Amino acid sequence: MCLNGWGGKLFGELLAYIEKEAPDILCLQEVLQSPGTEKDWLTYRDGDFTLPQRANFFRDVSSALPDHVAVFCPAAQGALWDGDRPILSQWGLATFIHKSLPVIGQVQGFVHKDYSSDGYGDHPRSRGAHGIRVYDHEANRSVSVTHMHGLRDLNGKMDTPERGEQAQRLLDLSRQVSGPEDVVVICGDFNIEPGSETLAVLADAGLTELVTGRGFESTRTSHYKKPGRFADYMLINNEEAVKRFDVVHVPEVSDHCPLVLEL
């Protein structure tokens, strides 16, 4: 499962869904960790824009998946707000792997900029990626899964040199963690439209894109009010290995839909 968790804004719905589905591998973007507070909720501020954030989202999802190994990959540390009091909070992505799947390889890196230690920074901000390689004993094969949260450009989701470089970095990280015979999966909130250079780079590397390729018309829920209905993608190097793929619109657990792949 791949999902942008929206900072846990729909925390109750999301946690109930995650606990029920308990995916073997969960790739979760927009994850927060605030070591200096036990508050459940803080507020993100960006100019006039505000958004409630689950202060220790990573801890809470980890508690909901006690049979999983949890890895948090921060991209930046900045201030969230408890009223007028700033609270330092780390923001990034996380991967949760069921303990029945041994992790035999792992890679973490940045697809845009580097770690920002003194605030979230100007847009487009630092963005990371995380890749794992697991062994599936039932199928007697290795599977690599790499996900990223693509950069957000305030001018839109068009192709840019930064997005082109980001695509290559993502592919390089996937190649670092993958074996030559692996089933390879790349996914995430790419923040791009169909037909982008990013997807072309991955297609040229032998990966098949499953969202638009299987006729899905959106990866957004009713909570997303802007135009443009795509942000999230999942790609695989061996389409014959796909048993099921779905973009889940119900229940709504974020402003993004979960992408679910069964091999």
pLDDT in tens, the chain (263 residues): 999 999 999 999 999 999 999 999 999 999 999 999 999 999 999 888 999 999 999 999 999 999 999 999 999 999 999 999 999 999 999 999 999 999 999 999 999 999 999 999 889 999 999 999 999 999 999 999 999 999 999 999 999 999 999 999 999 999 999 999 999 999 999 999 999 999 999 999 999 999 999 999 999 999 999 988 999 999 999 999 999 999 999 999 999 999 999 99
Whether the pTM exceeds 0.75: the reply is: yes
Integer-rounded Cα Rg, in Å, for the chain is 17
107 with 146: CB under 8 angstroms? yes
254 with 221: CB under 8 angstroms? yes
CA 93/CA 197 separation, integer angstroms: 23
Domains and CATH numbers, the chain: 2-262 (3.60.10.10)
CA 216/CA 232 separation, integer angstroms: 11
